[in-house]
Every structure is written in structure tokens, then in C-alpha cells.
């Protein structure tokens, strides 16, 4: 078997169509969008076009789109920028920061958890981490019950990067809108699989990363409705309407817009096709491997994610065996890979630390067409090769 890359939640290759769309803006139309001459204007036009195309996919206004250096920056900008702007307003005319309250969950990506921790540590914000259930689902009622009079942001991952669990974002947004609390969605893993429409979902801010959908690493977007005050992280020349200074990555924006449009056009068909392959793969693994247990929600999960624990193994050892058999996958998030700490996501779902160390995650490409029976068989052989009898 040749190498099969099943770690698409970590990153994806740049699509040829995306690279092709970007090339002119790296070479011929290399201008700075802020320059007042024809070379600059061509770049500014391309940036405006990319912004309009992203806005159309999201159902937002072009002015709501802030191009960033990726998902991490988009999350930082939302989670620091929205609460700090709110806290400054609460401080009144003197401009003093009056810290408030933010809500999130324990299963978020590090860029969310660490941004929230920063608000708490540096600015004295209060934080509520709403627990999740055994399938990593967040209850809308638990979120609304956690709200206080001074809650200025709720930040929730739309789909989890380690176990693929999908949250009911529309229900959360509806409940929060009634209480006038903005909802930020980390939709980095949802892109290409789930609707991102602001009209359907009702969020106030959304984070996206280009490299999960065939655009280059280092590209991303924060979509944030114009009515939401936002304090910038990067100060300087006032680009992106003052919300993100720095000469714009025009080619990156064009690549991002192209990749997002392609992913959106293919989304419904790809989700159904890959979802069926995922279901067959999961069933075969659970059938063949007695120690296998599915992690994450059995129903509300990303079409491209199959994640398991294999009691009596070590996840890292299973990964090595799989790679020997031509299958590249991961134990969880790429950030946590290689660390000895059990996944904070699995722990928050109530999985014991010892079992959490046996986790393996398979994340599929959107173009997948053939069943993965041979991969399931490789999983069976790999787990058998490293299992400790009697555990």
C-alpha cells in the first residue's frame, strides 16, 4: 500500500486551483494594496474581490471580513478583541478597563483556551468553562445558565478537532441572541463539512483557517459583524479597517477565497460521500478490533473524522505500526502530538487518562471516493501488534 494521508484535520495540501489563482499576485500583480498607483490598485482590487467572495460564502458583509494569519490569530482577535472592547466601554469615558465575564468549554483548541486564560490572568476577567458530556457535546441550557449580567462573549468550537463532535451552533446562537450576548464560533474544523452561513447559524463572529481547506498555511479569516466592537491586536497602518494592521497578504487572501468557495460548492456532496465511507470504516474497526471504542458523538460528528481509543495499547505505538503499513494518522491534535500529556479533550469527556493515551484519530480528505476497508484491516493488525494481553 502506498502512503495514505489520513491527518487532514492537521492540515491539507494546497489545491492546484488555489495555487493557480494565487500565482499572479505573487509575481505580476505584486503591489501593496495601500499604494496609490496602478500596481497597488490591482492588488487592492484583488483583495476587495477576495473579501467579497468570502463574505458571500459566510453570508456576511464584505466589511465584516478580517483577513488574518490563520485560525490561531482569528481566535486570538475574537477572544481578546471583543471582550477588551466591551470592557473599555464598561469603563466609561475615563477609558479604564472594567473586566467582565466570558464563557467557553474545556474542549477548545489551545488558541481559544490560552486566549481566555490571558484575559483572566492579565486583565482580571472572570471565566466559566461549561462542561461537556461524554460525547463532547455542549448543552445550550448549560451555556445559558452560565451567563451573568456582565457576560460579554461566549466562544464555542463548532466542530471539535480531536473527536469531530459538532455542536448545535444555531440553537446556541438563538439562545444567546435573546440575551444579547455575542457568540464566537471557532469553525476551523467545520469548514468544507458544515454550513458556515451566518444567516442559518446566527453567530456574531467566526474563525476560519485556510490550510484546513486547501489554501496555504498562514491564511485565515475572522468574520465579525460590524455591530460588534473589536479592539485590535496588531496596531500600525490601519489596514483591515483598523482591525488588523500590516500589509495585506493579497495572494493569501485570493487563495483563501478560492479554497473556501470550492469547499462550499463541494460541501454537501462531499459530506454525504465521505460520511458514508466514515460510517463503514467505523463499523469495520469496531467489528474487528475488540478493544476499539469510538470517541466523540456517534451521530453529530464531522463526516471526515473517525476517532477511537484502543485499550491496552499506546496510541503512539499504534500510529507507528500504522505508518509501517502506509497509513499516516495522529493521536489527536497536531499541537498535542508528541507530548506525553493525555488530551484535554478526552479528559473533559470523562475518559480516564490511561485510556486517553491510547487515542488515534483518522481525518479524511474531502475527495475520498473508495471505502477504507484496507485501512480498517491495517488498524486491526496494528492494534494486535502492540496490544498488551490482559489489559
Ligand X SMILES: Cc1ncc(COP(=O)(O)O)c(C=O)c1O
Binding site for ligand X (CB under 6 A): 70-72, 75, 109, 111, 157, 161, 186, 188-189, 209, 211, 220
Cβ proximity to ligand X: between 109 and 184 the closer is 109
Nearest approach, Cβ of residue 191 and ligand X (Å)? 10
169 DSSP β-pair partners: none
221 DSSP β-pair partners: 67, 208
DSSP 171-190: HHHHHHHHTT--EEEE-TTT
Cβ proximity to ligand X: between 70 and 99 the closer is 70
Q: Is 178 left (phi over 0), alpha (psi -120 to 50) or beta?
A: alpha
Nearest approach, Cβ of residue 373 and ligand X (Å)? 28
Q: Is the CB of residue 212 less than 8 Å from the CB of residue 259?
A: no
Cβ proximity to ligand X: between 51 and 212 the closer is 212
Helix (H, G, I), strand (E, B) or coil at 253: helix
Q: Is the CB of residue 291 less than 8 Å from the CB of residue 311?
A: yes
Cβ proximity to ligand X: between 137 and 211 the closer is 211
Greatest distance between any 2 Cα atoms in the chain:
73
CA triple 159-163-166, angle to 5 deg: 30
* Contacts made by residues 89-92, CB under 8 angstroms, sequence distance 24+: 89/229, 90/150
Nearest approach, Cβ of residue 52 and ligand X (Å)? 22
Q: Which of 48, 265, 268, 335 is catalytic?
A: 335
Nearest approach, Cβ of residue 219 and ligand X (Å)? 8
Cβ proximity to ligand X: between 111 and 358 the closer is 111
How far is it, in rounded angstroms, from Cα 132 to Cα 153? 18
Helix (H, G, I), strand (E, B) or coil at 207: strand
Nearest approach, Cβ of residue 187 and ligand X (Å)? 8
Q: Is 335 a catalytic residue?
A: yes
Q: Catalytic positions, please?
A: 335
Amino acid at each position: 500500500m502506498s502512503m495514505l494521508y489520513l491527518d487532514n484535520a492537521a492540515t491539507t495540501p494546497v489545491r492546484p486551483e488555489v495555487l493557480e489563482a494565487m500565482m499572479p499576485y505573487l509575481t505580476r500583480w505584486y503591489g501593496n494594496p495601500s499604494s496609490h498607483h496602478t500596481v497597488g490598485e490591482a492588488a487592492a482590487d484583488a483583495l476587495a474581490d477576495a473579501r467579497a467572495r468570502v463574505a458571500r460564502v459566510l453570508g456576511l458583509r464584505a466589511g465584516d471580513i478580517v483577513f488574518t494569519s490563520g485560525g490561531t490569530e482569528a481566535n486570538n482577535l475574537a477572544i481578546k478583541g471583543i471582550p477588551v472592547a466591551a470592557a473599555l466601554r464598561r469603563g466609561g469615558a475615563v477609558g479604564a478597563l472594567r473586566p467582565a465575564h466570558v464563557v467557553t468549554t474545556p474542549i477548545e483548541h489551545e488558541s481559544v483556551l490560552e486566549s481566555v486564560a490571558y484575559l483572566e490572568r492579565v486583565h482580571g476577567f472572570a471565566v466559566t468553562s461549561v462542561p461537556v458530556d461524554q460525547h463532547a457535546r455542549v448543552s445550550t441550557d448549560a451555556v445559558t445558565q452560565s451567563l451573568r449580567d456582565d457576560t460579554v462573549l461566549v466562544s464555542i468550537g463548532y466542530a471539535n478537532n480531536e473527536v469531530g463532535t459538532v455542536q448545535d451552533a444555531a440553537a446556541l446562537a438563538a439562545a444567546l441572541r435573546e440575551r444579547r450576548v455575542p457568540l464566537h464560533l471557532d469553525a476551523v474544523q467545520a469548514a468544507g463539512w458544515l454550513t458556515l452561513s451566518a444567516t442559518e447559524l446566527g453567530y456574531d463572529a467566526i474563525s476560519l483557517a485556510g490550510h484546513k481547506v486547501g489554501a496555504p498555511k498562514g491564511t485565515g479569516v475572522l468574520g465579525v459583524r460590524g455591530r460588534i466592537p473589536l479592539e485590535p491586536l496588531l496596531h500600525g497602518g490601519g489596514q483591515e479597517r483598523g482591525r488588523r494592521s500590516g500589509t495585506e497578504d493579497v495572494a493569501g487572501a485570493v487563495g483563501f477565497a478560492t479554497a473556501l468557495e470550492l469547499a462550499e460548492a463541494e460541501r454537501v456532496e462531499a459530506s454525504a460521500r465521505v460520511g458514508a465511507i466514515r460510517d463503514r470504516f467505523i463499523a469495520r474497526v469496531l467489528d474487528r478490533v475488540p478493544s476499539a471504542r469510538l470517541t466523540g458523538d456517534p451521530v453529530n460528528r464531522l463526516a471526515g473524522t473517525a476517532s477511537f481509543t484502543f485499550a491496552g495499547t499506546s496510541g503512539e505505538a499504534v500510529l507507528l505500526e500504522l505508518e509501517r503499513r502506509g497509513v499516516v494518522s495522529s493521536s489527536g491534535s497536531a499541537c498535542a502530538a508528541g507530548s506525553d500529556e493525555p488530551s484535554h479533550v478526552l479528559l473533559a469527556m470523562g475518559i480516564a487518562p490511561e485510556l486517553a493515551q491510547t487515542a488515534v484519530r483518522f481525518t479524511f480528505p474531502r475527495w475520498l471516493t473508495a471505502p477504507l476497508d484496507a485501512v480498517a484491516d491495517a488498524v486491526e493488525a496494528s492494534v494486535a501488534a502492540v496490544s498488551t494481553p490482559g489489559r
